[in-house]
C-alpha cells in the first residue's frame, strides 16, 4: 500500500507521466478484452466469414425503411473493423416518403473478416424500432420490426452433398429501386432446396455462372448450419437463440420517440445514444451477448 501511495504521489506531481500511465492502462485493458473474446469465440464456425440477412417485417414502408437502416448500421460496424462487405442480393420496396427514399424488403450481406460470424451470430433475432414515422402525414409514432439472420460462410463443406434432383434453379433479372431492371440479361440466380425449402439468391456477379456458384456456396452454408443444429440440438451455438414467429420476441429495441434508448432484452445492455448505435457502434451490445454464451 505504501508503494502504491508513493507511486500515486510521484505521478501526481508529473502530469505527463500520469497521462502515459493512463494510456498504458487503457491499452492493457483493451488487450485483456481481446484475450477474453478469444476464449468465448471458440465455436465450430466462429472464425468464419458471415452471411447476414435482413428481412423487413409487416408494416410496409416503415419496416422496409427500418431494414435499410439496419443494413447501414451493420455496414458501418464492419467498416469500423476494416471488414469487407458485399451485398449479394437485395429486393426493394416501394418508393415514396421523405426524399423519395426506397426501402428494403430483404437483403443478404456477405461479410469477410476475422471472427465475423463469431462476433455477429448473436445479432440473429427480431429488431424493433419506435419512432415518428417519416411516412406519416400526421407525424404519428410507429413501431417497425425486422428480422436478422446470421450464418457462417462455408464454401468447402466436404461432408455436405447436395443432390441435383433436390434443387430448383431459377434465373431472373436483378431489379433496383423502383423496380427497374439493373441488367439486361437474366444473370441473377435463385436456388430452392426442395427438401428443406431453403431459398438463396445472388445477383451481384456479372455472369450467370458466377452467381450460381455464389448461390450454391450460400446454400451449402445454410444446409451445414441446419445439419449442425440437428446434431447438437443447440441452436444457440450456431445461429443464436431460436425465435418464435411472433414479432413480440425482439432481441433489441431502438427507441427514438418519445425518448431515446437502445436496449438489448437478453443482456439488459442499454444506451441513450441511439444515433451512435445506428451508426454502427455495436461493440458494447455484441460483447455483452458473447459473454452470455458460456
Strands (E), the chain: 50-56, 84-92, 104-112, 125-132, 141-152, 167-172, 188-193, 198-202, 250-255, 261-264, 270-271
Do 270 and 172 share a domain, yes or no?
A: yes
Distance between CA atoms of residues 51 and 151, nearest Å: 5
What pLDDT, on the 0 to 100 scale, is given for residue 12? 55
CA nearest to 58, candidates 145, 136, 143 = 145
Taking a C-beta distance cutoff of 8 angstroms, is the pair 148, 104 a contact?
A: no
Cell of 140: 404519428
In degrees, to the nearest 5, what angle opens at C-alpha 248 toward C-alphas 221 and 238? 25
Residues 97 and 180 in one domain: yes
Q: Per the domain annotation, does 45 fall within a domain?
A: no
Give 40's DSSP letter: H
Residue 89: give its domain's CATH number.
Answer: 3.30.70.1660
125, part of any domain: yes
Please tell me the predicted confidence (pLDDT) of residue 246: 41
* Cβ-Cβ contacts under 8 Å for 27 (sequence gap 6 or more): none
Are the CB atoms for 151 and 50 separated by under 8 Å? Answer: yes
Residues 149 and 268 in one domain: yes
Whether the upstream peptide bond of residue 171 has omega within 30° of 0, thus cis, is no
Based on the domain organization, do 135 and 66 belong to the same domain? Answer: yes
Query: Each residue's pLDDT tens digit in the chain (294 positions)?
Result: 454 455 455 555 556 666 777 777 776 666 776 666 777 887 888 999 999 999 999 878 999 999 999 999 999 999 999 999 999 999 998 766 666 678 999 999 999 999 999 999 999 999 999 999 988 888 889 999 999 999 999 876 665 788 999 999 999 887 666 555 555 467 899 999 999 999 999 988 778 899 999 999 999 999 988 887 777 665 455 555 555 434 557 899 999 999 999 999 999 999 999 999 999 999 999 999 998 876
Q: Which helix (H) or strand (E) holds 67?
A: helix 61-80
CB burial of residue 246 (10 Å; 0-12, 13-18, 19+) = exposed
For the chain, how many structural domains are there in total? 2
Range of the domain at 60: 50-290
Amino acid at each position: 500500500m505504501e508503494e502504491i501511495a508513493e507511486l500515486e504521489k510521484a505521478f501526481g506531481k508529473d502530469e505527463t507521466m500520469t497521462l502515459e500511465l493512463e494510456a498504458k492502462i487503457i491499452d492493457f485493458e483493451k488487450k485483456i478484452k481481446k484475450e477474453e473474446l478469444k476464449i468465448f469465440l471458440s465455436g465450430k464456425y466462429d472464425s468464419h466469414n458471415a452471411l447476414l440477412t435482413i428481412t423487413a417485417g409487416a408494416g410496409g414502408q416503415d419496416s422496409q425503411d427500418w431494414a435499410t437502416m439496419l443494413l447501414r448500421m451493420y455496414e458501418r460496424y464492419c467498416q469500423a473493423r476494416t471488414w469487407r462487405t458485399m451485398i449479394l442480393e437485395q429486393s426493394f420496396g416501394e418508393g415514396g416518403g421523405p426524399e423519395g427514399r426506397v426501402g428494403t424488403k430483404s437483403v443478404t450481406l456477405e461479410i469477410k473478416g476475422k471472427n465475423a460470424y463469431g462476433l455477429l451470430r448473436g445479432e440473429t433475432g427480431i429488431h424493433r424500432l419506435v419512432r415518428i414515422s417519416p411516412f406519416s402525414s400526421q407525424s404519428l409514432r410507429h413501431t417497425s420490426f425486422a428480422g436478422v439472420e446470421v450464418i457462417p460462410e462455408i464454401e468447402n463443406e466436404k461432408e455436405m452433398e447436395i443432390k441435383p434432383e433436390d434443387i430448383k434453379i431459377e434465373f431472373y433479372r436483378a431489379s433496383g429501386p423502383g423496380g427497374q431492371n439493373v441488367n439486361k440479361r437474366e444473370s441473377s440466380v435463385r436456388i430452392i432446396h426442395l427438401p428443406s425449402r431453403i431459398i438463396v439468391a445472388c445477383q451481384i456477379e456479372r455472369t450467370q455462372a458466377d452467381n450460381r456458384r455464389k448461390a450454391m456456396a450460400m446454400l451449402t452454408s445454410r444446409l451445414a448450419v441446419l445439419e449442425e443444429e440437428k446434431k447438437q440440438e443447440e441452436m444457440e451455438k450456431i445461429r443464436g437463440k431460436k425465435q418464435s414467429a411472433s414479432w413480440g420476441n425482439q432481441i433489441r429495441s431502438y427507441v427514438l420517440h418519445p425518448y431515446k434508448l437502445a436496449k438489448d432484452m437478453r443482456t439488459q445492455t442499454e444506451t441513450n445514444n441511439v444515433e451512435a448505435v445506428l451508426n454502427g457502434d455495436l461493440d458494447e451490445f455484441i460483447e455483452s451477448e458473447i459473454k452470455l454464451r458460456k
